[in-house]
Structure 1
Amino acid sequence: MNYPHYNPASDNRPLSDEELNDLDELLGALPTEAAMNIEALDGYLAGLLLTPGLDLADLPGEAWLPLIWGGDGEPEPAPFASGKQRKKVVMLVLRQLQSIATAWTQHPQGWEPIFSFADGADEDTEYADAEDWAAGFLLAVDLAPEAWGPLFDADDTAELLAPIAALAAEDGGLAEASAAERDAASRKIPDAMLALWAIRQNVGQKA
């Protein structure tokens, strides 16, 4: 199955809350547990945009899109009920990808990742939990481990990536941490992503 390439000049309108909910419901209704939810998808797209040396415009859509819904089956793409449904998901994903890149470039301080939030013991306390977002981000890392290796090894960038690795860890990390600890790690992610984006842009300008 051939999918469209990412086009940096394409529609960069942020998805509305209704469109985000629609995309989340479309993915959640698929007959597979491997499909991402909207939080994991947001993290996955962020990871793709930050992958060192990767120009998404040169990467075929089939190399990264099917992972979002758990892969394509044979002989027909799976697990969509129709080609129309698949096309809708793909178009919404591409818009979300482009809107993240545009936000990081044009108004970075206004960007917010999609995390889960839960109320604390009292009504005035709200905890962020980026576990699913972090897991999605690491799926992008797994597509290019050699490119990401130096960033996880270098002290400055490893520090930026540490909350993601800790939140996504199934064993150890923050798996058994308190809500407050997971909240603190989650809230480090937005600034860390903007710092990594700045590094990537600086590297690109020097190349």
Structure 2
Amino acid sequence: MARRIVLIITAAVMLFTTPAWAADASKADNKADLKVKITRDISSFTVMHNGKPVVIQRNQNQQNTIVKDYALTSRVCPPFCIQPMHLLPGVETIGELEMLNYIKRASKGDPNLLIIDSRTPDWVAKGTIPTSINIPWTQLYQQASNYEPMVVEGILTDRFGATVHDGIWNFSNVKDLVFFCNGPWCGQSPTNIKALVSMGYPAHKLHWYRGGMQSWHAFGLTTVTP
């Protein structure tokens, strides 16, 4: 009986306990007057993007609609085919709240994490997710027209924390990478992830925000321009 009571109490605590990032956000911002919140408990929170504070919240205009770039329902497939929910074994597929968790970590300067916008610069110029950096998919994809092995080596070593000796890569101390692109129909971030796994990058270090910018805009979440 006592064990059942303990289990019930534990379950209740897990159900109602706010995640650490959300608790921090709640203390920092959490404007109670916002009608359109992120979650029931979180209205907004502030992160650092390129050294400047950015408030992440949802658009408060309840008549707001998704921007034109992401309103299309039908794109030619291939290349714009619906991506699977599970991209590769070991690669984590995440949603918006998990993405916000990674954003919070990146904002705090976590040295073991990068959030990567895999889109080409023309798309990034229209707006991206706060705390992300841009590494276009063409830089890691071997069959891209502007692929350069030396550029890839620089990204892997200088950005991702890999090492190479006598042509043999060591990925034992690499960073966690969170990739996104335009949406569930976009192959840019999946291409980056597949390329890295083929090189030997640990799959469990790779995380994929499948919804990408389409889902981000659909929820009216804050974007920033370069």
**What TM-score bracket applies, with the shorter chain setting the length?**
under 0.3
> Higher strand share goes to which structure?
2
Q: TM-score, normalised by structure 2?
A: 0.25
> Higher helix share goes to which structure?
1
Please say which structure displays the higher CA radius of gyration: 2
